[in-house]
Amino acid sequence: MTILKRWALGVCAFILAGSAWSQAVTVADVKYEPTQTLGDSTVQLNGAGVRYKAVFKVYTAGLYLEKKASTPQEVASQRGPKRLSITMLREIDSTELGKLFSRGMEDNMDRAAFSRIVPGVLRMSQIFSDHKKLQAGDQFMIDWIPGTGTVITVKGKVQGEPFKEPEFFNALLGIWLGNLPADFKLKDALLGKPA
């Protein structure tokens, strides 16, 4: 193969790879844009999927990062902004959701690490308890913004002060990307792995 042909094939592959990021992804009728603005940065969709409980679709989730990551370790090692965007597909009691998130964090951490973030876990549970119920179509986001901390936004409104500790955001992501994730298929989807 000549150098010119190899160069042309490389350019085509680059263009095709780039076009994959230019398309929105729709999961269970929820549209995830290829990029979003987070603070002063642009983050790209790493993957999106559905959280199932038994046979029921509970919510969709999309993970946005500065650059593509295919393992939980790669996600955790990125120091830039990150976003997990969740859209409800059915009504759920918010207090119950807060408890499930707390349990998911605890299940994916050792006892000493979890005990250090208990104040943040309690505050997060209170945020969800205050909302009583989340309806189908309601959205919340969990953002990591360097220099600010973890920001939780529910139905378009920022909830209280940021959680300053970086380990709190990583513990939250452990719910979906840890060794005992809420849903193994959703974990693969968030990491961009084909179904």
150-157's contacts with Cβ under 8 Å and 24+ in sequence apart are: 152/124, 152/127, 154/127, 154/128, 155/131
Give the span between the Cα atoms of 26 and 30, in whole angstroms. Answer: 5
Calpha distance 68→35 (Å, rounded): 12
Q: Are 120 and 163 in contact (CB under 8 A)?
A: yes
Average pLDDT of span 69-83: 96
Report the alpha-carbon distance of residue 66 to residue 166 in Å, rounded.
16
pLDDT at 19 over 70: no
CA-CA distance, 6 to 151, in Å (whole number)?
Answer: 46
- CA distances 162 to 12, 17, 120, 134, 177, Å, are 43, 35, 10, 21, 22
For residues 23-48, give the mean pLDDT. 95
Q: Is the pLDDT of residue 83 over 90?
A: yes
Cα–Cα nearest to 104, from 70, 147, 46, 61: 61
Q: What are phi and psi of 92, to 5 degrees?
A: -145, 145
Count the residues in the chain. 195
Percentage of residues in the chain having pLDDT higher than 70: 88
Q: What is the CATH number of domain 24-190?
A: 3.50.70.10
Q: Any bridge partners for residue 57, and if so which?
A: 52
The residues spanned by each domain of the chain are 24-190
Q: How far apart are CA 71 and CA 144, in angstroms?
A: 18
pLDDT tens digits, 123-181: 998 898 888 899 999 999 999 999 999 999 999 999 999 999 878 999 999 999 999 99
How would you classify the pairing of strands 82-88 and 139-145?
antiparallel
